[in-house]
Structures are given as C-alpha cells and as structure tokens.
C-alpha cells in the first residue's frame, strides 16, 4: 500500500510544523533561565528624566584640560583623575556595568589619596564593561562614560 499525501494535507502539515517551531522558541525565551532578558536599568524612566543633567556633566568633563583616563595594567584597571584637582577634594562613584550579566555589576565610592584608583584583576571578569564615573570637584560635577574590553 502506498502512502499518499494530497497537497492540502501537505500545506496543513507544513503550517502545523511551522507553528510548533515558532511556539517552541517563544517557550524557550519566556520560561528558560538561560535566555534571561533583563533591562539595562531598573529605573530607566527616572534615568531618562535626569538626562539633561547627565549631558551637562559630560560637557563639564569635556572642557577639562585632561579628562579621566582608564588604563589596563598588570595589577588591574587603573583610573587616573586629572592632576589639576586635589585628590582629596574629589568625591563620587564609579559604576561597572556588565550588559551580559547584571548580577556582577558593582559600584565603588571615590576616596582618593593620589589621583589614581586601582581596581584589581580579581574584582573584574574578562569581557565588555560599561564604566560610568560620576565625580565632583570644586563644586562642579563631571561624568565619564566609557565602554571597555577587560
């Protein structure tokens, strides 16, 4: 006995197979932890309202003779602040954001004895990081955003 499939039955089988294929992807993305989709910021609406202040801080940093430098060294990541400021007057925070895994994001307060902050190798995981440095000196606020490959 020969098994024959008519063309309407073939189209129906193809459509059902396609729908099952698409639904399997929807299931994977929605329910499996390995396809974790997370927001870059939990408070992105609040962050958007403060965007003009951020632009002003970025412009203040551009006007400096020397901006903050981020360099990879043997010991880790070295962040060098401008020498035109007294290191003890500089306050603020350094944010490290890993887009692939927000669980390893961290922030550091800026408390300087010299113009350099060293983040040691064991504190950073290799890969791409977004570094955001918000700092204040002489009653003026500054901001540096940089993407680095560590």
Domain boundaries, the chain: 1-37, 44-149
Q: Which fold has domain 44-149?
A: Immunoglobulin-like (2.60.40)
pTM for this entry: 0.66
CA distances to 3, 5, 18, 21, 23 from 15, rounded to whole Å, are 20, 15, 5, 10, 12
User: How far apart are the C-alpha atoms of 150 and 145, rounded to whole Å?
Assistant: 15
Residue 15's pLDDT is 97
pLDDT tens per residue across all 150 residues of the chain: 677 888 999 999 999 999 999 999 898 888 877 766 565 666 777 777 788 888 888 888 888 888 888 888 888 888 888 888 888 888 899 998 887 777 888 888 888 888 888 888 887 888 888 899 998 888 889 998 888 887
User: How far apart are the C-alpha atoms of 30 and 24, rounded to whole Å?
Assistant: 10
User: How far apart are the C-alpha atoms of 80 and 117, rounded to whole Å?
Assistant: 6
User: How far apart are the C-alpha atoms of 150 and 127, rounded to whole Å?
Assistant: 5
């Amino acid at each position: 006995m020969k098994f024959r499939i008519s063309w309407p039955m073939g189209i129906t089988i193809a459509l059902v197979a396609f729908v099952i294929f698409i639904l399997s992807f929807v299931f994977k993305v929605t329910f499996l932890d390995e396809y974790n989709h997370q927001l870059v910021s939990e408070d992105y609406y609040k962050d958007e309202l403060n965007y003009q202040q951020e632009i002003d801080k970025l412009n203040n940093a551009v006007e400096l003779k020397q901006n903050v430098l981020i360099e990879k060294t043997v010991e880790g990541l070295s962040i060098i602040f401008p020498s035109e400021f007294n290191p003890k007057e500089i306050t603020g925070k350094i944010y490290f954001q890993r887009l692939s895994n927000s669980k390893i994001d961290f922030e550091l307060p800026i408390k300087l004895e010299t113009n350099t902050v060293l983040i040691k190798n064991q504190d950073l995981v290799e890969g791409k990081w977004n570094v955001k440095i918000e700092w204040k000196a002489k009653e003026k606020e500054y901001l540096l955003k940089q993407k680095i490959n560590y």
